[in-house]
Amino acid sequence: MLREVLQHLDLRPGLTVCDGTVGAGGHSEKISQAIGEEGILLGLDRDSMMLRLAEKRVSGQNRHLRQASYREIGSVLEELKIESVDRILLDLGLSSDQLADSERGFAFSLDAPLDMRFDTRSGESVTRLLARISESELDRILTNYGEERFSGAIARRVVERRGTEPIKTTRDLCEVVESAIPAKVRRQSRSDPATRVFQALRIAVNDELRHLEEALKTELHQALAPGGRLVIITFHSLEDRIVKNSFREEDRWQVVTRKPVSPSPAEVRVNPRSRSALVRCAMKK
Ligand SMILES: C[S@@+](CC[C@H](N)C(=O)[O-])C[C@H]1O[C@@H](n2cnc3c(N)ncnc32)[C@H](O)[C@@H]1O
């Protein structure tokens, strides 16, 4: 949905833009071209590995990359002595480079240590979370963030397994998930049940929904100049609900996308991971 995103960002030379989830810099590269050398681009990411990739596409004068959550945009602007920004883009979730990273266990198909933190300097890895969490709390995480039907059985198996040995790798976790789901259900399932479990645990250890909710409440709105635009791509119904509800505050936002923009069937065919993506845009009043 690159075209739709760029259309809603409504870029022109000289604008100041924050890409709050710069990732490998795909969107930022296009933004950089559109705002020209006199425009300012600020790229944020919680993951230092992604910033190293972004550097290859976005560099030079008026281009700034920082390891920070978009929730901290205010302090980064202060450091750079930038008063406000004209546009903010958030492209939430995980990048394909993180999925392919064999060190942090984002993908169930690669055997790796179970970490899944975007920023490994702080917080708790999935291994540590699974070592201490109560069965009921894990059940809640798998239900809320993964919509996992067998959340109760998986949570029970996790607690049983850690009683004999820690759950340290993606393979350990896949074995636990597999043992909790009836073979018939596994055979009939369109996607691997581990997909939902991994997604739920990643959202939990990175506290992703709280970052989004808190940022929408204050920082993103404060950072934008009046008339500035915020464009958000979500991949999960919980994220989209948070964005939709926040944009309903009519004294703060003027909604540009009455209905969220979704990818065309052709785009989903080429890039199946885009199937749950939704784009919303609002203007600061
Ligand atoms: C889907 S990727 C972005 C891809 C990017 N738009 C591109 O074109 O390459 C999502 C990125 O957001 C980052 N991320 C997730 N939560 C974040 C947060 N709260 N603040 C900053 N970055 C975050 C992830 O580390 C990941 O690199």
* CATH number for the domain that contains residue 177: 1.10.150.170
Q: Are residues 92 and 10 in the same domain?
A: yes
Where b means 16+ CB within 10 Å and e means fewer, 117-134 reads: bbeeeebbbbbebbeebe
Alpha helix stretches (DSSP H) within 181-227 = 183-188, 193-205, 208-217, 219-223
Tokens 């984002």 map to which residue? 106
Is the pLDDT confidence value at 180 over 90? yes
Q: Are residues 134 and 163 in the same domain?
A: yes
Let me know if residue 111 belongs to a domain: no
Query: What is the SS3 assignment for 63?
Result: strand
Domain of residue 128, residue span? 119-205
Quote the ligand 1 centre to 230 CA distance (angstroms): 15
Residue 88 is given by DSSP the state E
Kindly report the protein residue whose alpha carbon is nearest to atom 13 of ligand 1: 21
Q: Are residues 71 and 8 in the same domain?
A: yes
Let me know if residue 148 belongs to a domain: yes
Q: Are residues 11 and 56 in the same domain?
A: yes
Pocket of ligand 1 (CB under 6 A): 20-21, 23-27, 44-47, 50, 69-71, 91, 93, 95, 118, 208, 211
Let me know if residue 29 belongs to a domain: yes
Is the pLDDT confidence value at 129 over 90? yes
Report how far residue 242's alpha carbon sits from residue 27's, in angstroms, rounded to the nearest whole number. Answer: 23
Q: Are residues 80 and 18 in the same domain?
A: yes
Q: Are residues 91 and 125 in the same domain?
A: no
Mean pLDDT of 139-158: 96
Is the pLDDT confidence value at 271 over 90? no
Q: What is the pLDDT of residue 42?
A: 98
Q: What is the pLDDT of residue 191?
A: 81
Strands 278-284, 16-19: parallel, antiparallel or unpaired by DSSP? unpaired
Kindly report the protein residue whose alpha carbon is nearest to atom 8 of ligand 1: 26
Strands 253-255, 63-67: parallel, antiparallel or unpaired by DSSP? unpaired
Mean pLDDT of the chain: 96
**Percent of the chain at pLDDT above 90?**
92
Q: Are residues 172 and 251 in the same domain?
A: no
Report how far residue 3's alpha carbon sits from residue 34's, in angstroms, rounded to the nearest whole number. Answer: 13
Let me know if residue 165 belongs to a domain: yes
Let me know if residue 196 belongs to a domain: yes
Query: Domain tally for the chain?
Result: 2
The residue out of 140, 175, 205 marking a domain boundary is: 205
Beta carbons of 233 and 277 less than 8 angstroms apart: yes
pLDDT band, residue 273 (cuts 50/70/90): confident
Let me know if residue 229 belongs to a domain: yes
Ligand 1 atom nearest to 20, measured from its CA = 21
pTM (whole model) above 0.85: yes
Is the pLDDT confidence value at 209 over 90? yes
Let me know if residue 104 belongs to a domain: no
Report how far residue 255's alpha carbon sits from residue 224's, in angstroms, rounded to the nearest whole number. Answer: 15
Order of strands, sheet of 16-19, starting from the edge strand that comes earlier in the sequence: 63-67, 40-45, 16-19, 85-91, 224-234, 278-284, 253-255
Helices 135-146 and 151-162: crossing angle in degrees, nearest 10, is 140
